[in-house]
Amino acid sequence: MSKQIAALSPTNFKARLKTFGDTQGTIRDKAQAFIEFGLEFYAGEHADTTYLTQFMRACVGKRALNTKQILAYITAHANVKWAKTSDDSHVFKKAAKGEPVKVEMPSIKWFDWEKEPASPKKINPIKRVDSLIKALEKAIDEDMFEGDKVEAESILAGLYTLVSHKADTANNEEQQALAA
pLDDT at 30 over 50: yes
Of 107, 90, 16, the C-alpha closest to 49 is 90
> If pLDDT is split at 50, 70 and 90, which confidence band does 103 have?
very high
> If pLDDT is split at 50, 70 and 90, which confidence band does 17 have?
confident
Among left, alpha and beta (phi > 0; psi -120 to 50; other), residue 14 is alpha
Instruction: List, as one string, the DSSP characters of 110-142.
Output: TTT--PPPPPPPP--HHHHHHHHHHHHHHHHHT
Residue 173: predicted pLDDT: 64
Alpha-carbon span 66 to 60, nearest angstrom: 9
Residue 38: predicted pLDDT: 93
Mean pLDDT of 74-101: 90
Q: Please check whether residue 71 is in contact with residue 84, taking contact to mean a CB–CB distance below 8 angstroms.
A: no
Of 61, 66, 69, 70, the C-alpha closest to 21 is 61
> If pLDDT is split at 50, 70 and 90, which confidence band does 1 have?
very low
Q: Please check whether residue 59 is in contact with residue 66, taking contact to mean a CB–CB distance below 8 angstroms.
A: no
Mean pLDDT of 17-24: 67
pTM (predicted TM-score): 0.58
CA distances for 148 relative to 134, 135, 138, 143, angstroms? 18, 16, 15, 11
Burial 94-127 (b: 16+ CB within 10 A, else e): beeeeeebebeebeeebbebeeeeeeeeeeeeee
